[in-house]
Amino acid sequence: MVMNTTVAEFILLGLTQDAGKQKAIFGVFLILYLATLVGNILIVVTIKASRTLQSPMHYFFFYLSFADACFSTTTAPRLIVDALLQKKIISYNECMTQVFTGHFFGCLEIFVLLLMAFDRYVAICKPLRYTTIMSRRVCGVLVVLAWMGSCIHSSAQLFLALRLPFCSSNAIDHYFCDLQPLLKLACMDTYVINLLVVSNSGAICMVSFMILLISYGVILYSLRNHSAEGRRKALSTCTSHFIVVVIFFGPCIFIYTRPPTTFPVDKMVAVFYTTGTPFLNPLIYTLRNAEVKIAMKKLWCRK
Output DSSP code: residue 120. Answer: H
What are φ and ψ of residue 190, in 5° steps? Answer: -100, 15
Task: Tell me the C-alpha distance between 245 and 225, whole Å.
Answer: 26
Q: Rounded to the nearest 5 degrees, what angle is found at the Cα of 74, between the Cα atoms of 102 and 252? A: 40
Element (H, E) at 12: strand 9-12
Q: Which of the residue ranges 103-117, 150-164, 179-193 would you say has the lowest mean pLDDT?
A: 179-193
CATH value at residue 262? 1.20.1070.10
The per-residue pLDDT for range 81-134, each reduced to its tens digit, is 998 888 889 999 999 999 999 999 999 999 999 998 899 889 888 888 898 999
At 11, give phi and psi (nearest 5°).
-115, 120
Q: What's the confidence (pLDDT) of residue 1?
A: 41
Q: What is the dihedral of CA 3, 5, 9, 14, to 10 degrees?
A: -100
Q: Over 60: is that where the pLDDT of 3 sits? A: no
In a domain, 16, yes or no: yes
Tell me which residue range forms the domain holding 279.
Answer: 9-302
Number of domains in the chain: 1
120 in a domain, yes or no? Answer: yes
Residue 1 forms part of a structural domain:
no
- With 70 as the cut, is the pLDDT of residue 302 above it? no
Q: What is the pLDDT of residues 223-281, one digit of tens each?
A: 777 677 767 776 776 777 777 788 888 888 888 887 666 667 888 888 888 888 899 88
14-23, 38-47, 111-120: which has the minimum mean pLDDT? 14-23
Mean pLDDT for the chain overall: 85
Report yes or no on 4 lying in a domain: no
Q: Looking at the domain assignment, is residue 175 inside a domain?
A: yes
Instruction: Indicate whether 3 belongs to any domain.
Output: no
Give residue 169's identity as a one-letter amino acid code: S
> Residue 289 domain-assigned?
yes
For residue 208, tell me if it sits in a domain.
yes
Per-residue pLDDT at 198: 83
pTM: 0.89
